[in-house]
Amino acid sequence: MAMQSTTKPSLSQRWENYQPSKGALIWACIGAVVATIVIGFNWGGWVTGGTSRAAATTAGDVARGELATAICVERFNAAPDAAARLTEFKALPDNYRRRQFVETGGWATMPGQTTADRLGGQGCAAALSA
Q: Is residue 8's pLDDT more than 90?
A: no
Interval 26-51 mean pLDDT: 96
Tell me the β-bridge partners of 109.
Answer: 116
Tell me the β-bridge partners of 116.
Answer: 109
Residue 36: per-residue pLDDT: 97
In tens, the pLDDT along 46-99 reads: 999 999 999 999 999 999 989 999 999 999 999 999 999 999 999 999 999 999
Q: Please tell me whether residue 109 adopts helix, strand or coil conformation.
A: strand
In tens, the pLDDT along 101-122 reads: 999 999 999 888 898 888 889 9
Per-residue pLDDT band for 5 (boundaries 50, 70, 90) equals low
Write b or e for each residue in 63-100: b if 16 or more Cβ atoms lie within 10 A of its Cβ, otherwise e: eebeebbebbbebbeeeeeeeebeeebeebeeeeebbb
Residue 43: per-residue pLDDT: 94
Would you kindly state where each structural domain of the chain is located, as residue ranges? 49-129
Residue type, 65: G
Spatial separation of the C-alpha atoms in residues 86 and 79, rounded to whole Å: 10
SS3 content of the chain, % helix, strand, coil (to 5): 70, 0, 30
Q: Is residue 19's pLDDT more than 70?
A: yes
